[in-house]
Chain A
Amino acid sequence: MLEAVDLQCERGHRRLFDRLSFAVTAGQCTQIVGDNGAGKTSLLRILCGLLRPTHGEVRWHGRRIDRVRDEYGADLAYVGHLNGVKDDLTAAENLRTWAASCGLNVGGDQVAEALRLFSIDQFAQWQAGHLSQGQKRRVGLARLAMPQQARIWILDEPFNALDRHGVETLNRLIAQRVGGGGAVILTTHQAWQAPVPVVRLELGTGRPG
Chain B
Amino acid sequence: MQAETIRPLKFGLHRFAAPPEFYRVAGQLIPWFAVAAALLAAFGLYLGFFVAPTDFQQGEVYRIIFIHVPTAWMAMFIYIVMAFWAGFGMAFNTRMSSMWACAMAPTGALMAFLALCTGALWGRPAWGTYWSWDARMTSTLILFFLYVGFIALHGAIDDPRKADRAAGVLALVGVVNVPIIYFSVQWWNSLHQGASISLTRAPTMAITMLEAMFVMMGAFWMYSIAASLARARAILLERESRSSWVQAMVS
Is A in direct contact with B (CB under 8 Å) within the complex? yes
List residues of A whose CB falls within 8 A of some B CB.
5-6, 11-13, 17-23, 54-57, 201, 203-208
Cα A164 to Cα B3 with chains together (Å):
33
Check A208–B241 contact: CB distance below 8 A: no
Least CB distance, A96 to chain B, in whole angstroms: 33
Name the B residues within 8 Å of A203 (CB-CB).
Answer: 1
Cα A205 to Cα B161 with chains together (Å):
26
With CB as the reference atom, state the residue of chain B lying closest to A21: B6
Q: Which of A5, A6, A21, A54 contacts B161 (CB 8 A)?
A: A54
B128 interface contact, C-beta 8 A: no
Least CB distance, B9 to chain A, in whole angstroms: 6
Check A12–B8 contact: CB distance below 8 A: no
Could you jot down 15 A-B contacts, CB within 8 Å?
A6-B6, A6-B8, A6-B9, A17-B1, A18-B1, A19-B1, A20-B1, A21-B5, A21-B6, A23-B4, A54-B161, A203-B1, A204-B1, A206-B3, A208-B3
Name the B residues within 8 Å of A18 (CB-CB).
Answer: 1
Check B3–A21 contact: CB distance below 8 A: yes
With most chain B CB atoms within 10 A of its CB, the pick from A12, A13, A204 is A13
Least CB distance, B94 to chain A, in whole angstroms: 12
Name the A residues within 8 Å of B3 (CB-CB).
Answer: 20-22, 201, 206-208
With CB as the reference atom, state the residue of chain B lying closest to A12: B159
Considering the complex, which residues of chain B in the window 148-172 have a beta carbon less than 8 Å from any beta carbon of chain A? 158-159, 161
Contacts A19-B1, A20-B1, A205-B1 given; does A5 touch B6 at CB 8 Å: yes
Least CB distance, A28 to chain B, in whole angstroms: 13
Kindly list the 5 A-B residue pairs having the minimum CB-CB distance in the complex, ordered from nearest.
A206-B1, A22-B3, A208-B3, A21-B6, A5-B6
Name the A residues within 8 Å of B8 (CB-CB).
Answer: 6
Q: Which of B1, B5, B12 contacts A55 (CB 8 A)?
A: B12
Check B1–A6 contact: CB distance below 8 A: no
Check B241–A21 contact: CB distance below 8 A: no
Q: Which of A13, A17, A22 contacts B4 (CB 8 A)?
A: A22
Cα A201 to Cα B1 with chains together (Å):
11
Cα A150 to Cα B1 with chains together (Å):
30
Report B1-39 CB contacts with A as 1/0, cut-off 8 Å.
111111011001001000000000000000000000000
Check B9–A19 contact: CB distance below 8 A: no
B242 interface contact, C-beta 8 A: yes
Name the B residues within 8 Å of A208 (CB-CB).
Answer: 3
Cα A206 to Cα B5 with chains together (Å):
12
Report B176-203 CB contacts with A as 1/0, cut-off 8 Å.
0000000000000000000000000000
Name the A residues within 8 Å of B159 (CB-CB).
Answer: 11-12
With CB as the reference atom, state the residue of chain A lying closest to B162: A52
Cα A11 to Cα B160 with chains together (Å):
10
Name the B residues within 8 Å of A201 (CB-CB).
Answer: 3
Check A19–B2 contact: CB distance below 8 A: yes
Cα A160 to Cα B153 with chains together (Å):
35
Name the A residues within 8 Å of B12 (CB-CB).
Answer: 6, 55
Contacts A5-B9, A55-B12 given; does A13 touch B2 at CB 8 Å: no
Name the B residues within 8 Å of A6 (CB-CB).
Answer: 6, 8-9, 12
Name the B residues within 8 Å of A5 (CB-CB).
Answer: 6, 9
With CB as the reference atom, state the residue of chain A lying closest to B8: A6
Least CB distance, B15 to chain A, in whole angstroms: 7
Check A56–B9 contact: CB distance below 8 A: yes
Name the A residues within 8 Å of B9 (CB-CB).
Answer: 5-6, 55-57
